[in-house]
Amino acid sequence: AISVYNHLRPHGSISYKTPIELHNHNEPVERKWKNYYVKKELLKVGVAEETYR
């Protein structure tokens, strides 16, 4: 199952390529996913969490 996920199934978040294609060719990829984690350093300096949503 993992082999199909990594080698055969194209992913929408990485421009409809397989993870192995990007890994083997070192191609730049447009970031289409969101990061919901806020770095602790940013919270310490007062950056609002809503900035990163």
| DSSP class per residue in 2-50 | HHHHHHT--BGGGTTB-HHHHHHH-------S------HHHHHTT--GG
CB atoms within 10 A of CB 17: 15
Would you state the pLDDT for residue 15? 85
Would you state the pLDDT for residue 49? 53
Total of domains in the chain: 1
Would you state the pLDDT for residue 44? 67
Q: What are 1-53's pLDDT values in tens digits?
A: 888 888 999 988 888 888 898 888 877 888 787 777 767 776 666 655 555 54
Would you state the pLDDT for residue 14? 86
What residues make up the domain containing 34?
2-52
Would you state the pLDDT for residue 47? 59
